[in-house]
Homo-oligomer: A and B are copies of this chain.
Amino acid sequence: MKTVERRHKSTDADPTRDKLLDVAGRIFADRGYRAATIRQICVAADANVAAVNYHFGDKLGLYTEVVRQSARIAEFQAAQTVIDQDAPAEEVLRAVIRARLHSLFHGDRPDWNFRIMAHELAQPTPALRRLVNKAGQPLFHRLLELIGGMIGLPAEDENTRLCAISLLGQIMVYALAGPLVTAIWPEFEMTPEQVERIADHIADFSLSYIQNFRSKTSARSIKRTRPAVKPRASK
Contact = CB atoms under 8 A, between A and B. Distances in A.
Nearest to A161: B185
Contacts of A185: 158, 161, 165
Contacts of A34: 34-35
A223 B207 contact: no
A171 interface: yes
A35 B170 CA distance: 27
A200 interface: yes
A214 interface: no
A140 B180 CA distance: 9
B140 A165 contact: no
Interface string A162-173: 111110111111
Given A140-B183, A177-B122, A179-B121, A166 B230 contact: no
A201 B164 CA distance: 11
Interface stretch (A11-19, A56-64, A129-137): A129-137
A206 interface: yes
A179 B129 contact: yes
Interface in A199-229: 200-209, 211-212, 216, 223-224, 226
A168 B173 contact: yes
A74 interface: no
- Counting contact residues on chain A (CB < 8 A from B), the size range is 35 or more
A171 B120 CA distance: 18
A197 B122 contact: no
A231 interface: yes
A230 B199 CA distance: 12
B197 A231 contact: yes
A212 to B, nearest CB: 6
A92 interface: no
A207 B184 contact: no
Interface in A132-176: 132-133, 136-137, 140, 144, 158-159, 161-166, 168-174, 176
Given A90-B230, A136-B180, A172-B173, 20 more contacts: A121-B176, A121-B178, A122-B177, A132-B179, A158-B197, A161-B188, A162-B197, A162-B198, A162-B201, A163-B205, A169-B171, A172-B172, A176-B176, A205-B209, A206-B209, A207-B230, A208-B233, A211-B232, A211-B234, A211-B235
